[in-house]
Amino acid sequence: MKAAVLVEPRKMMIQEVEDPKMTDTRILVKIRNCGICTLEQRLYRGDLKIYYPLIPGHEASGEIVEVGSKVIGDFAPGMRVAMDLVTRCGQCYYCRTGSSNLCSNRFKPGQQVLGGFGEYIAVRGMQAYPLPDSMSLQEAAFTEPVACCIRSLKKLQVTLGENVLIVGAGPMGLLHLQVARAMGARVFVSDPDAKRLAVATQLGAVAGIDPSQEDLSGIIKSETEGIGVDACVVTSPAQAALSGGLAALAKAGRLNIYTSYLEEMPLPMDANVLHRNESLITGSEGRTQTDFHQAVRLIGYGMVDVKPLISKVVGYDSITEGIEAAMSPETLRVLLEQ
């Protein structure tokens, strides 16, 4: 089969590779769409290394070609599915204790790692999620990132009528905005990019705030009777983003550091403030199977609209161009389509 292979940093090659190894417990899927996520961008730049050569891609959707004889479930050729391609081992401490998103063996050789930039992939039944008729394959490629947002907001225990601040209006910030609204929250979005703030307000943010030109904490306080937000998600890796989110928290507020940092990032906060305000700070990594299942439903029900986030669609012949475009602040999400 054909695949876009990362052979070294900033070098993608379209190669003929071995077909996926089918077994009687696997489902063979023809991949149709795959998002070019921050993970793929960091692998491409060399900021993050797993091993080389590697077929990246984990936000994938496609059509079933073949179903192994021992696969349990109502799968059939032609069925459209979203796929969970960050494989969980199912046997480490974290998998056994309900935190499969923290699986110790996710990216280790010996099990399937990523693979969404290939023509085909063979997955276990637990990795394939059937799509409703209302959901396109392009939309289905957003299932994984939506699932990550669900996990993130569950960590914050967001509930009806709360005020939530999303710091950063990139793809993940805009998805957090929609999931938080689906949970019944009133959502503010902070970002210095006017175009991205405009998309945020179109998608339901009660206010889009440019922290480089406006007093973020002051505006939040004025909109919340001087209290601050109940919860905040930081999706931008800028230090100012984290500082701004912390400053906007109400007493007993909760903050989730959703983004990851390329270098060590000390918390810009006095421990006494955490103590006196009873602030809770956490992080979130990935998603569980339950989150993935719920993401399919939210998109399929139209409660999360991912279509405005599709900035560009590329094929194999322009995969490098697509990755470079995905790293530009002018785009939201770029999809590989075949």
pLDDT at position 270, please? 87
Query: 316: burial class by Cβ within 10 Å (0-12, 13-18, 19+)?
Result: middle
List all residues 6 or more positions away from 57 whose beta carbon is below 8 Å from its beta carbon: 4, 31, 34, 35, 36, 40, 85, 114, 115, 116, 117, 118, 336
List all residues 6 or more positions away from 48 whose beta carbon is below 8 Å from its beta carbon: 39, 42
pLDDT at position 12, please? 95
Identify whether the C-beta of residue 282 lies closer than 8 Å to the C-beta of residue 118. no
pLDDT at position 267, please? 85
pLDDT at position 183, please? 97
Convert the pLDDT of each residue in 140-151 to its tens digit.
Answer: 999 999 999 999
Helix H segments across 160-205?
171-182, 194-202
pLDDT block averages, 10 residues each, the chain of length 338: 95 94 95 95 91 93 97 95 91 92 83 90 95 97 98 97 98 98 98 97 97 96 97 95 95 96 85 92 94 97 96 96 94 96
pTM of the model: 0.95
Domains of the chain from N-terminus onward: 2-142+306-337 (3.90.180.10), 147-283 (3.40.50.720)
